[in-house]
Structure 1
Amino acid sequence: MKISACVIAKNEAENLPRWLASMRVFADEMIVVDTGSTDATVETARAGGAEVYHFDWINDFAAAKNFALDRASGDWVVFTDADEYFTDETASRVRSLVEAHDAEKQIDGFIVRLVNIDMETGALLGTTAQVQRIFRRLPHLRFVGSIHEHVENLSGDPARTMLYAEELVLYHTGYSPQIMRQKSERDLELLLARRASGHRDKMDAYHLMDCYYTLEDYEKAAAYAREAMALPEQPVGGEERPHTVLLQSLILMSAADAEIDAAYAAALGRFPETADFPMIYGTYAWERGYLAAAQRAYAAGTRLHEVHYRPGDLSGVFAPLAYERLGAAAELCGEKEAAAAFYIRSLRTQKRHLTSLKALLRLLAETGAEAADVVVALNELYDEQADAGLLAQALADTPFPLAALYYEKRGGAKFSVRRRLLLTGDVCAAAASLIEDRERTAAVAAAHMEAFSPEDQGRIALLLPRSCRDLSAAPEDMRMRRRIARLSGERI
């Protein structure tokens, strides 16, 4: 059994090394079809062991991908985009999965979970999809659609199927706002041109919905979301997307509360185990001041999140905020112990959620906790060494200055001498340090006054102490003039 890894690429020299490394784990051959690159895409692909072919771009993604399929020789094809790659953990599972089902001829391929991540930080962005990326190389499996192309079974045999391979996770890095906006502008232009020529696709509503949502035309996004929801045939793994876009679009366009409530109820009724919808609605209700409704929605969302969360789900982005606001609501009801528990859950979800950390520290201060108690509590949530810098800064402006100094000694970032003096309570020494710094700055300015323009000299003179402007026999003034003289190279 042979596996071909395929990709079409244009100016993807930056992404290709990661793609090649991921595909090399399981692929017997790698096919790169270049559609007109002006960077080092071709050279990078060849250096990485791929076979490179050229395809003259004709504004048709399906045509380019089918061209790649025709150059492949494998029994199975893994066809991803250049900015997609399997996680290290799951790349090694691809071959074993395909081999396990190779003899089941009614299975045409596999749907995998795609997770969008921040290319710079590697952070999960809270958006996922289920996509067809692995399939048999057979004549009836071809790409369809000039844009938003997808694999279709052209045999007409309904018994043939694609399995969902939950154990495989594909990372997608091309999801930064600027990249997505450029892609949406390009796709919308192609979509509208194709529809104007009389060619329409059954999935157009989905694609137009996403384009308009990315381009922040929420009225049109909502309209196409409703059209997509009404389609008799839904794309595998994309059934929730129209409900998400509709709810978020209505909120962002400040639609009437009743319309938002109806969209939320419909989404929750259709997908009762999806945490994203109550999380989205809870955020809307909180920001509108509907605190009771927000509390109910956040409570429902966090329960679903705890049971059904998968890495990359949107609920993972909302969860720290949801727990924090449930904590704030508990405080409003005088339930401080429950509030502290919510803040801790928020920090367990995202330890850098500083609003929850500050709230937890405030509650600890109200209970009369000592610095040692705070350190013990925080060490259960954080790594004492790796997170020391974060904790030192967070504690610096709290009633626990000694705890701040404790973590400062364990972290790489250090407080200034004056900040450390203030944290130890030595206010007099800190004030003396401040005066010394001001005098030093004044002396440097006075010593080099001639280097400044007349206008700047006038401004500086206003800021200098009297000892730098007037003759005086006072000891402190004489000391300042001697300092100025040393800095300017003169003798007094």
Structure 2
Amino acid sequence: MRFTVSLCMIVKNEEEVIGKCLESIHKQINEIIIVDTGSSDRTIPIAESYGATIHSYKWNDDFASARNYSLQQAKSDYILILDADEYFEGEYDLQKELATAKDFYIFPIHNLLDNERYFIHSAIRLFKNSPELRYKNRLHEHLDLEGKEKQMQWSKVSVSIQHTGYQSNTIIEKDKNNRNLNLMMQETKEHPNSYNFYNLGKAYMAIEQYEESAEYFAKAITDSDNQTHQADLLKKWGESLLQLNRSNEALKILYDAVQKYPAHTDLLYVLAEAYYDEKYLKDAASTWIKCTELGNKGDFISEGVSDYLAYAQLAELYKQEDNLAEAYKYILKAITSKRSHMPALKKYFEIAYIYAFAEDDIKKDLDISYKITRVEELQNLLDVLYTMRHYLFSGYLKSYNISPEKNVLAISYQYSKQYDLAKNSWYEVEHIPEENTIDILTLAFLLKDEKLVKSLQNVGEIGPSDIRILLQLLHNESIQMEELSSSLETLIFQLVNNLIYMKEFEAFQTVLQLLMGKDFEVKYQIGSMLNGHGYYEAAIDILVQAYHLDSENIQMIGLLGDICLRAGYFDDAEYFYTNLIERSPVYASYERYYRLYERKKDESRMQEIKQFIAAHYPMATWSQE
């Protein structure tokens, strides 16, 4: 038996997308009902070209009301609901699903985001034409099945509906975020229930007001048991708290959530982020690995959490732990899983830099894991190399016969150490982009070139007094860091960092001598930079000086212990970690202690610390094993 189907839509100014929507489904339906809420473009003529019946409707800030009006016009056995920015992709037979004659069908909605990302949620989109089935809620409207669901038969559909409405250009163009917030505030005032608090929290989250989103997610927890939105609610509550740097609260919420929803990959992924922020590094690693083993599971699925995003996080974690083999393994997995994910590509080059990969080895890795087959892939690679100021940038420009703008050409010369060519190129740049300030300043110090320094006047926040101080530094005259503006101080620290990155150690030493006095912060910042670039011995030398200036600084003590551990100075690491635990007896200190004895292969001390952690930190699941 064949069932008839009515497509019901509410629209306003959808000329850019409605044609694709109707083209994807019009041959499988018996009537198209368009409820128009005030279009002023070509939406209606396009819909009429597909045989649609148009019904005008005065918008009253209520999506459920408009939906229900469209349902009242339907004459078919079943109703299909689509938005104009949705469509079916490929071949699909509605009648094959309808042969089971269920009361309603649940479709996966494939929400397309920017940068080739997406997330998936599920919703009822095909259901029997019955007066009992009507929508509720001004926003995030949904079929009201309260008291009816147990009596109804339903089925999940494998084919997904593609949705483009969450792409940033659409959200900005239609001011969706502010519209949604206003509607949800009104809906929540009228119906203060868990589902509406949850959606109001999402509306605040969309405009990055995380205090408010966390507040409403907390309210939504009440009466959320056995509700389909609870898992996503817990995830988003945790995400909001992480954005507020309240990772301890987030960890407790997400840990309990995963006990209830162990097969929700999104929840696991955010739990791993909370573990990471709270320095539960062993559990962060094992939880991200679980994401990759579980695959895409749960009612809400974010693209990447089971593969390339988790792999990239693991690579960063293992890089911090100085575990080259694991960092390298996972970053290659990340690149292979999603070639267009530029942060993973950038992370690969960071790992290659820290561990001094040979140029031939880098090119071999790229040939295998990132072989360029499209213009977009080349553009992504060039963007990453430019952003990182990588020495390979120049070679790729030449290989592909690319003639960039003068400032980009100057960058390519400078970071492949063709300094005279870089200088001449900078001289030709009429208007210096603010992003190139540090590049010009670095080259000026390498060549002792006053002209380059003076060219920076009025670029960004650099004024005449800043130029005088920079020239003073250029001529090897000491400066007092505490007397500098915050922007100039930042610029000088960037200069130091750039000299380390470019391995220009003679110039680095010169600047260092001019800056290094008895200022704890200067020593701490420069020591941290050296550590970040993998120069552990030099970092220890400078940080020990800082330690003597402030032996109570917890950050300093922990950093010194970490660097000594990386450098293989186990006794020194033990000294600093013991001091750290005396001053900061928190979980992160004990895991550091455990890692030390793990490196020393001291089984007795490892077991002792593990038992202590198991007794005092129940969320450290590795210690329970």
Answer whether TM exceeds 0.5 for this pair. yes
Identity of aligned residues (%): 20
Counterpart of 1:109 (choices 85, 104, 109) is 104
Aligned-partner SS, 2:163 = strand
Alignment of 1:307-318 (within 5 A): 307-309=294-296, 313-314=301-302, 316=304
Counterpart of 2:284 (choices 284, 294, 297) is 297
Partner amino acid, structure 2, of 1:253: L
User: Contact 2:108–2:121 at 8 Å: present in 1 too?
Assistant: yes
In structure 2, the partner of 1:124 is 117
Give the C-alpha shift of residue 317 in structure 1: 5.9
Aligned-partner SS, 1:384 = coil
* Aligned-partner Cα distance in 2 for 1:201–1:425: 61
* Aligned-partner Cα distance in 1 for 2:417–2:220: 66
Alignment of 1:62-81 (within 5 A): 62-81=64-83
Give CA-to-partner distance per residue, 1:2-49, whole Å, 9 cap, x none.
222110112333332222222325323211011223333322321343
Give CA-to-partner distance per residue, 1:106-148, whole Å, 9 cap, x none.
x211111123223xx57224x4321111111123222233443
* Aligned-partner Cα distance in 2 for 1:420–1:213: 38
User: Contact 1:247–1:260 at 8 Å: present in 2 too?
Assistant: yes
Distance 1:76 1:94, change over 3 A: farther
Give the C-alpha shift of residue 400 in structure 1: 6.3
In structure 1, the partner of 2:234 is 243
User: Contact 2:265–2:297 at 8 Å: present in 1 too?
Assistant: no
Aligned-partner SS, 1:283 = helix
Give the C-alpha shift of residue 67 in structure 1: 2.0
In structure 1, the partner of 2:180 is 184
Aligned-partner SS, 2:151 = coil
Q: Output the aligned Cα RMSD.
A: 3.9
1:261 lines up with 2:251 in the alignment: yes
In structure 1, the partner of 2:135 is 143
User: Contact 2:266–2:305 at 8 Å: present in 1 too?
Assistant: no
* Aligned-partner Cα distance in 2 for 1:93–1:436: 57
Aligned-partner SS, 1:52 = strand
Alignment of 1:399-438 (within 5 A): 401=392, 405=395, 407-408=396-397, 411=400, 413-414=402-403, 422=413, 427=418, 431=420, 435=424
1:93 lines up with 2:92 in the alignment: yes
Distance 1:231 1:436, change over 3 A: closer
* Aligned-partner Cα distance in 1 for 2:149–2:346: 60
User: Contact 2:193–2:220 at 8 Å: present in 1 too?
Assistant: no
Distance 1:141 1:338, change over 3 A: same
Give the C-alpha shift of residue 425 in structure 1: 7.5
* Aligned-partner Cα distance in 1 for 2:108–2:68: 23
Greater shift in the superposed pair: 51-60 or 212-221: 212-221
Partner amino acid, structure 2, of 1:385: T
Distance 1:108 1:376, change over 3 A: same
In structure 2, the partner of 1:330 is 318
Distance 1:376 1:318, change over 3 A: same
* Aligned-partner Cα distance in 2 for 1:256–1:420: 39
Distance 1:14 1:190, change over 3 A: farther
User: Contact 1:109–1:163 at 8 Å: present in 2 too?
Assistant: yes
Distance 1:385 1:408, change over 3 A: farther
Give CA-to-partner distance per residue, 1:156-185, whole Å, 9 cap, x none.
473313322233344242453544422323
* Aligned-partner Cα distance in 1 for 2:355–2:54: 67
Aligned-partner SS, 2:314 = helix
* Aligned-partner Cα distance in 1 for 2:425–2:261: 66
Counterpart of 1:350 (choices 312, 317, 338) is 338
Aligned-partner SS, 1:346 = helix
Counterpart of 2:160 (choices 155, 159, 168) is 168
Q: How does the TM-score come out when normalised to structure 2?
A: 0.58
Give CA-to-partner distance per residue, 1:315-356, whole Å, 9 cap, x none.
626964543342233234442122111111221233344454
1:272 lines up with 2:257 in the alignment: no
* Aligned-partner Cα distance in 2 for 1:216–1:421: 37
In structure 1, the partner of 2:462 is none
Q: How does the TM-score come out when normalised to structure 1?
A: 0.72
Asked which structure has the greater RCO (Cα within 8 Å, sep 6+), the reply is: 1
1:53 lines up with 2:55 in the alignment: yes
Distance 1:94 1:150, change over 3 A: farther
Aligned-partner SS, 1:31 = strand
* Aligned-partner Cα distance in 1 for 2:63–2:185: 14
Aligned-partner SS, 1:36 = coil
Give CA-to-partner distance per residue, 1:170-218, whole Å, 9 cap, x none.
42424535444223233134315535xxxx6674333333334335454
Aligned-partner SS, 2:25 = helix
Aligned-partner SS, 1:4 = strand
Aligned-partner SS, 2:33 = strand
In structure 1, the partner of 2:28 is 26
Count of residue pairs the alignment pairs up? 421
User: Contact 1:324–1:346 at 8 Å: present in 2 too?
Assistant: yes
User: Contact 1:111–1:164 at 8 Å: present in 2 too?
Assistant: yes
User: Contact 1:84–1:170 at 8 Å: present in 2 too?
Assistant: yes
* Aligned-partner Cα distance in 2 for 1:116–1:349: 20
Partner amino acid, structure 2, of 1:83: D
User: Contact 1:278–1:298 at 8 Å: present in 2 too?
Assistant: no
User: Contact 2:188–2:196 at 8 Å: present in 1 too?
Assistant: no
Distance 1:313 1:408, change over 3 A: farther
Give CA-to-partner distance per residue, 1:78-111, whole Å, 9 cap, x none.
112222223x13xx32514433323xxxx21111
Distance 1:333 1:370, change over 3 A: closer
* Aligned-partner Cα distance in 2 for 1:157–1:248: 31
Give CA-to-partner distance per residue, 1:217-256, whole Å, 9 cap, x none.
54453344344334266454x3312112221222233447
**Higher share in strand:** 1
Aligned-partner SS, 1:243 = helix
Aligned-partner SS, 1:380 = helix
Partner amino acid, structure 1, of 2:100: H
**Higher share in helix:** 2
Greater C-alpha radius of gyration: 1
Distance 1:275 1:298, change over 3 A: farther
1:229 lines up with 2:221 in the alignment: yes
Structure 1 unmatched ranges of 5 or more: 442-458, 464-492
Partner amino acid, structure 2, of 1:308: G
* Aligned-partner Cα distance in 1 for 2:165–2:428: 52
Distance 1:369 1:153, change over 3 A: closer
* Aligned-partner Cα distance in 2 for 1:345–1:333: 19
Greater shift in the superposed pair: 65-74 or 408-417: 408-417
Partner amino acid, structure 2, of 1:77: I
Give the C-alpha shift of residue 421 in structure 1: 9.1
Give CA-to-partner distance per residue, 1:257-297, whole Å, 9 cap, x none.
2x3222011211111122223322433454x4x43x14522
